[in-house]
Structure 1
């Protein structure tokens, strides 16, 4: 027992050390954490150094990472938003699974000379992509809640739903599966019943449970209850032979509209990150290098065919749906790999006698190799996709009689534009971020493409006729010389500026402007007022304190501008010091 515990600790030490080295290295090279985990697992696994045992021993536990990932994604999708995505899920998702699966079945049957039953059992699973790889990539890029991210997620979610019929198809292809497996219609009924049970449990059991924990103030119980929710939902689905990840996703959706969503997400996220990394380590450890060595050309050719076919088909689907070709290509590349559920379906096919163990191992290596290509493909094509996004032909600004120009249509510019529109002011919107323009168009806004820091573009947009020019761009991009030129070129227009911080105000002070607003100042003052109210101060006292703060802040800023020194007027600042 003691020796076993030492072995487990030694294996854990080796895995963590390998993960640290390779993930940091691959992150530094811009190749992503997923590939780092895969390579780390392959290096320390039984096929190479043999320092950390067998990947199959930990894969079942590591699959909890996928389950937790889908739970967190579910927490971010309220039922109303999920319902709004139904057409993308069952339209785009169905098209991707059906077309990619059929194409890969044909490739395997015709090019590799496998029997038709084996080609079906191998090709259909290859049509699925890696949820565990794609969703973290979308999250880290901040694109999960964008239209592009929603399309990718819709496909991945339908792939999870398709596990049920795919298991039925693969089981039916084998003599054992055909005799012992439940009929497809029964699996479908069980799925509907299981989802209904999870929905009812979420409404009538989970919400009261979290409400009770919140009242008791036992924070660690949120962790326990959150993990219990995920594992219980996954176990119910798995007991019925369904997707455990789908059960966790449904549980997350049921809790998405509760006040406990953010608390749960924060508590579960560390477990998700660790277990998802362990999952990819396990996949790397199970990579059959001997199978690749026996047929290297076949493995590479099939991985290339897999990635190429899926990229081409998904890109074509995107174009049919009127996505811009570079966005469609990005979607195709992002979903071009094989997925973790292929290993489950290959095992099912091997158990049913449809394929042998060597074939399952060979195609497992193909899936792993395809997963390793995704970070490379996204990195290599990034300049093309970025350059294309900036160089795409867009409707440029033109003088259309607008009284106000709003430069920058992010969160700040959107608020300014909305208030002007409420006042009946005709507004012209300009932004140079193509993705931001695409999002705005999704909500019916007309935003012109262009660099609002170019004088010729401002003149083209009608600045000569405008009464107001609002620079709402983020960061610290504005320079006093440029603003002085704008003021001189368009003397009838009031110039308003979103300033990044106090340093920006000091630098831009020599330029005469109608208004300058520090981007977080008023929001922080509003929160300060609310905080004073919460601790019991009266309304008149709060008003006086806010006025005192504003006067001190204005006097300090004036002193800083006069001195050109950020430390001037520092005596007006209250400080938190150690108690005497």
Structure 2
């Protein structure tokens, strides 16, 4: 009953914190963290934050599984330079630099300094990825590089945990065999690879044919937790095991269903994780060592930010991308809790030092949303942001180029009709915004042949060019007509002159971007002035016919032809539909009727 009450309190806290923090512009992460601090260390309503944190770390595990599902092995291989180049440089350089002040001030022993410095060099995977997800920045250049750094940091947890027994004063009494441990780790990875390659797909296929929805959800959870526990047994991190399982299933036909099944559990457990971080904060340690924390936190975050910015620039990132990454990863991460707890248990440093380090990590995590806001202010407005051109799973019956307001409405209609649409756009802000709403949209310049080929132009039955500027639209139309002449083109025209130009080039269909909305607007205006709806429709239809007739004249005689078809003054109301037969005189009808009656008599 005690756990049930605490669960209700935490759920209520999550329900209140998420929308409130979102409305204040702080992000849900900080909201969950503050609720945890309020309910735990401050009001003492919920206790046992450490136990909850151990369970809630499953949220990080599920998060990395879903990320793995989105990364095919081929794409992961293409990121190897970022992971093992930039990621390795960040961990090694940051760890060595942080060791400097620790040893210089003689705060602890050399062995302890190694664990502390490299533990603090790791950032929070949970915090960073949640912020990237909320802002729709996972596929930006900054987001991809940040993910590469985080991925290597998750790998780095393995050797850091492995050297703890070697650094402990009691290491001579240990019974572990490093070669045996390494062999077990390799065997576990091989076993996971074999299972993902040859066993899991047939199992999912069998469950899918049975129609048991709950069994599929159970199987998804079994895969994630089973792979995580296998890696933990082998001495690796649970998060890394879940990530590898996700990567191995990335090409599975059940990938999307697995992601849908896991997503609800991931969301609630990740929220619980952030609240548990707040719950586990030891305020007594914070109060007693407030001066040290006040100095250490900004020093650590400034050092990490500067080093990350410099390394990102050295690896070719733009100023804005480097600033975004530096603002996203200056904190220490959740794996610090694991490393520092293990080191304290091994006797490398005292439990009080461990509590102090955990408090420092927690405060740096709490300040992360503010550093991301600061990073946005330090960006250069004039710099054009580039995203990664990744066209996995692209290729539909409709290829839409441009996702402006016009394109958004068109895509809604097509999707509602059951037609899949591949959308490409060259605006980073547009991609980020659309990704938040779940659109399957790709970054790319539609005026480039290689981008069109990667997006599936040869497989598309029609190409809808919905770009805004006339010059951009013309470049795309000219390219497609030259390189893919069999493609059926539907084009959004900028204005009347652009319509005539597109017709002259023989596109299959064009429409001015404001034409139909103007007709609807004018019809509604007539109705509000008291005109009958049927008459208003007839007037709009007549105007539409006149407009089309004028376009045909202009196409032959020039742009300024057909001016006599324009209404420049109010028109005297006349019947817009001709009577089906001529009017007949009633008096003649009456006289004819009398004559016929007389004849019959």
Using structure 2 for the length normalisation, give the TM-score.
0.69
Matched-pair contact (CA < 8 Å) for 1:65–1:279:
yes
Q: Which of 368, 383, 396 is equivalent to 1:389?
A: 383
Q: Please state if 1:221 is matched with 2:215.
A: yes
Q: Aligned partners of 2:538, 2:267: CA distance in 1, in Å?
A: 49
Worse-superposed segment, 373-382 or 57-66: 373-382
Change (3 A) 1:127 1:563: farther
Matched-pair contact (CA < 8 Å) for 2:29–2:130:
no
Matched-pair contact (CA < 8 Å) for 1:75–1:256:
yes
1:31-70 alignment, distance < 5 Å: 31-45=26-40, 47-70=41-64
Q: Which of 553, 562, 569 is equivalent to 2:541?
A: 562
Using structure 1 for the length normalisation, give the TM-score.
0.71
**Secondary structure of 1:53's match?**
coil
The alpha-carbon deviation at position 509 of structure 1 amounts to 6.6
Q: Please state if 1:343 is matched with 2:337.
A: yes
1:284-303 alignment, distance < 5 Å: 284-303=278-297
The alpha-carbon deviation at position 563 of structure 1 amounts to 8.6
Q: Which of 163, 177, 182 is equivalent to 1:169?
A: 163
The alpha-carbon deviation at position 372 of structure 1 amounts to 1.2
Deviations 1:310-352 (A, max 9, x none): 1111111111111111111111111111100000000111011
Change (3 A) 1:231 1:440: same
1:315-334 alignment, distance < 5 Å: 315-334=309-328
Change (3 A) 1:409 1:27: closer
1:131-142 alignment, distance < 5 Å: 131-142=125-136
Matched-pair contact (CA < 8 Å) for 1:134–1:335:
yes
Q: Aligned partners of 2:539, 2:254: CA distance in 1, in Å?
A: 44
Match of 1:426 in 2: none
The alpha-carbon deviation at position 147 of structure 1 amounts to 3.7
Match of 2:495 in 1: 483
**Secondary structure of 2:26's match?**
coil
Q: Aligned partners of 1:353, 1:198: CA distance in 2, in Å?
A: 34
Q: Aligned partners of 2:272, 2:503: CA distance in 1, in Å?
A: 62
Deviations 1:246-289 (A, max 9, x none): 11111111111111111110011101111111111111011121
Change (3 A) 1:178 1:240: farther
The alpha-carbon deviation at position 50 of structure 1 amounts to 0.5
Mind listing any 5+ residue stretches in structure 2 that lack a counterpart? Answer: 387-399, 409-423, 433-441, 453-466, 482-490, 521-536, 545-601
Change (3 A) 1:178 1:28: farther
Change (3 A) 1:323 1:288: same
Q: Aligned partners of 1:386, 1:74: CA distance in 2, in Å?
A: 32
Matched-pair contact (CA < 8 Å) for 1:466–1:493:
no
Q: Which of 144, 147, 152 is equivalent to 1:153?
A: 147
Deviations 1:190-245 (A, max 9, x none): 32221111011112221111010011111111110011111111111112222011
Q: Which of 490, 505, 517 is equivalent to 1:507?
A: 517
Q: Which of 357, 367, 375 is equivalent to 1:363?
A: 357
Match of 1:524 in 2: none
Match of 1:118 in 2: 112
Change (3 A) 1:225 1:297: same
User: Matched residue pairs, number?
Assistant: 467
Change (3 A) 1:454 1:87: closer
Match of 2:575 in 1: none
Structure with higher Rg: it is 2
The alpha-carbon deviation at position 409 of structure 1 amounts to 8.4
Q: Please state if 1:20 is matched with 2:22.
A: no
Q: Which of 186, 190, 208 is equivalent to 1:196?
A: 190
Q: Which of 12, 24, 30 is equivalent to 1:29?
A: 24
Deviations 1:289-311 (A, max 9, x none): 11121122211221111211111
**Secondary structure of 2:236's match?**
coil
The alignment's C-alpha RMSD in Å is 4.0
Change (3 A) 1:117 1:368: same
Change (3 A) 1:390 1:497: farther
The alpha-carbon deviation at position 127 of structure 1 amounts to 0.8
Q: Aligned partners of 1:194, 1:237: CA distance in 2, in Å?
A: 6
Match of 2:90 in 1: 96
Match of 1:424 in 2: none
Q: Aligned partners of 2:228, 2:272: CA distance in 1, in Å?
A: 18
Q: Which of 227, 250, 254 is equivalent to 1:260?
A: 254
Match of 2:205 in 1: 211
Deviations 1:542-580 (A, max 9, x none): xxxxxxxxxxxxxxxx97953999xxxxxxxxxxxxxxx
Match of 1:79 in 2: 73
Matched-pair contact (CA < 8 Å) for 1:37–1:277:
yes
Q: Aligned partners of 1:497, 1:332: CA distance in 2, in Å?
A: 48
The alpha-carbon deviation at position 112 of structure 1 amounts to 6.5
Q: Aligned partners of 2:20, 2:539: CA distance in 1, in Å?
A: 44
Change (3 A) 1:499 1:348: farther
The alpha-carbon deviation at position 139 of structure 1 amounts to 2.3
The alpha-carbon deviation at position 489 of structure 1 amounts to 11
Matched-pair contact (CA < 8 Å) for 1:30–1:379:
no
**Secondary structure of 1:61's match?**
helix
Change (3 A) 1:40 1:192: same
**Secondary structure of 1:257's match?**
coil
Change (3 A) 1:84 1:332: same
Deviations 1:132-163 (A, max 9, x none): 11112222333323443222222111111111
Matched-pair contact (CA < 8 Å) for 2:193–2:248:
yes
